[in-house]
Amino acid sequence: MGSSIFLRTLLLALLPCTALASWRKDSTNPVRQLVEEKRALLKRRTLERRDVSSKYLVNGTDIPFVDWDLGESYAGLMPISKEANETRELFFWYFPSTNQNASDEVTIWMNGGPGCSSWIGLIEENGPFTWFPGAFRPVYNIYSWSQLSNMLFIDQPAGTGFSVGDFNGTTEEEIAEQFLGFYDNWMETFDTKGRQTYLTGESYAGFYIPYIGDAMIQSDHCADYNLAGSLMFSPYIRSIPNDFGQNAVTKPYVDTYNNVMGLYPGVGDPVDFYQAITTADEECGYAEMREKYFTFPPSGTFPTGNLSAECQISLMVYAGLAEVSPCSNIYHISQGCPHPSDPLSFGQYSDNASIPLGFDKKTWHGYPNMPQMRNAVHIPTDQKDWQMCTDEDPFGPASDQSLDPFTSGALTRIIEHTNNIIIASGEQDYRVPTNGTLMVLQNMTWNGQQGFSEFPSKTFFLPRTFSDVSSQSSSGKIGDWVEQRGLNFARVYAAGHELPQYAQGAGYRLLEKLLGRVSNLTSDAMFSALPGDFSPPPSNETMPGMNGTRSD
C-alpha cells in the first residue's frame, strides 16, 4: 500500500505540464482520478479528526438551490463562555480547506454594521457559493476564500444574524471579550489552538478587528490565538462624520466623481450647493489641511476631535445625493436604479422588485431563513428569524462608547505585533472614501515612524484567466498600493464598499498576499488554488497583457 502511494505521488510529480493542464477536462483521465482519490482521502482523515464536532457537520447536498455537493463544512451555535447558564451564542459556518498550505491556519471573516451578519460576506462576496444581487440562483464561487484557507464566518456580537442573546455591552473591549470566549470554545471543539489566526472583514469590522486582535495579543493565552495578520476592506478606523481626515477629502472626491454623483449642477440651485461645500471646505480649513498634511512623507499631525455641524461636509453630500435620486448608492457611486434583486433582502429592507425572481414578498424572508437552510446549518425553526442587520444598534442608544482604533492605539499595536496588516479600499466607495482612510493613516505612527513616505503608486496587477465567463475577473492594472513597516494600503479602482463582491479577483489576491502565497501585489503570478483550466487558448497572436503576464 505504501509503495503504491509513493508511486502515485511520483507519477504526479513527473507528469509533463501538458498532462497536468488537461486533467481537469476529462473525467476519465487517470491523473484526475488520482487527484480525486487524494482529495477523498484527505476529507476522510479530516472528518475522523473531528468526531467531537460531528453535531455541527453540514450535509453538503442539502443546501437549497445549490445543485452540487458543497463538501465538508460545519455550522451552528456556540456559547461565548463556559458558564453553565450561558444563553448567548454566536452562529458560525466553518469551511475547512483542502489546500495543503492551510493546514496550520484559520481565517475569520466578520461583517460590520454594527450588527450586520457575516452571511453578507458568505453569500455575496467570498464564500464557497455566491448568490449575487440580480442573479437567479446561487453559483459555484471559483474565488472562494476556502480554496486558500480554512474559513470561519461568524455572526457577532450576540443578537446579530442567527446569533442569540443580547450583547449587553457598550464598548469594543466587551466585544473582544465575548468574541474570545466564543473562539476559545470553538478552538477547543475543532482542535485548532496555536494555529495562525487571520482576522478579515469590512466596514465596521475596522473597529472590531483591531480590538479583537489587540485582545488576542494582550491575552495570557496569546500563543493559543497566534494572531498572524489582518485584512480589512473599507474599514471604519475613525468616526467619519466627526473625522477631519474624512471630511477633508470630500470636496476633491465630489469634484472628481461628480459625473456619476450628479451633485452640481443638478441639485436644487446647483450654484448654491456647490458654493456651500466650497465655502465649508475653505472656512473649516480642509483645503489648507490637504495642502499641509496630505503629503508623503507627512509633515506633521493634523487636528482631531469633534466637528461642528457646518464642517461635516460628508453629511452634506449624503443629503445632496438623496435629493439627486433616491437610487443614489454611497457604497458604490456608479450604481443606481433599478436595484437588482437581493437574496438577503426581506421585510423592511426590500420592495417587490428586490425579491429574487419567482418569489413573493409575503412569503420570502431571506435566503438564510428558508426552512431547508435553517435545518442544514442547525438553527431550530422556532428560534428567531435571521436578519441582515439588527433593527437597533447592538451597543444601545448611545452607540459604541469606545475610542476609535486609531485613537486608542489598537490598530497600531496589531500592526507592530504581526507586521502583516492590509487595508484595502474601493475607489467607488463614498461611505468610506479611499483618500479619507489614507489621510487618517498619514496621521498615525507605527513601528517608529508616522505615515507612509510615498503615495500608493505601485501597480496592483491581476493576471488574466482564460476560462468561461463565470470565472472572469478584472485583469491587468486594477489599482495601486504601498507597503511600509508592516502595513499595506491598496486601492482598487472599480470596487465599492464591499470590495470582494465588486472585485472578486482583487479580494482573492489580497488574501493570497495576507497568507504569504504571493510576494506582493504587483506580482504577475497566476492565482493559486483556483479550480479549472486557466491556460491561454492556443494562438500565436495574443494581445499584450492577454497571456497572463504584465505588459507594462
Report the catalytic residues: 203, 429, 497
| CA-based torsion, 329, 335, 337, 338: positive or negative | negative
Burial 31-62, CB ≥16 within 10 A → b, else e: beebbeeeeeeeeeeeeeebeebeebebeeee
Residue at 103: amino acid letter: S
Residue that is written with C-alpha cell 444601545 in the block: 396
| Of 163, 188, 199, 161, residue with least CA distance to 77 | 163
User: Which residues 6+ apart lie within 8 Å of 483 measured at CB?
Assistant: 489, 520
For residues 29 and 12, the answer to whether their CB atoms sit within 8 Å is no
Q: Give the 3-state DSSP-derived string for 44-75, with helices as H, strands as E and coil as C.
A: HHHHHHCHHHHHHECCCCCCCCCCCCCCCCEE
Taking the alpha carbons at both ends of the chain, their separation in whole angstroms is 51
The C-alpha atoms of residue 132 and residue 502 are separated, in whole angstroms, by 10
Residue that is written with C-alpha cell 455541527 in the block: 56
- Pairing label, strands 139-140, 129-130: antiparallel
8-state DSSP, 241: G
| Of 29, 45, 31, 23, residue with least CA distance to 100 | 45
Task: Identify the H or E element spanning 436.
Answer: helix 434-442
The half-sphere exposure of 18 on its side-chain side, counting CA atoms within 13 A, is: 1
| Of 517, 548, 535, 521, residue with least CA distance to 97 | 517
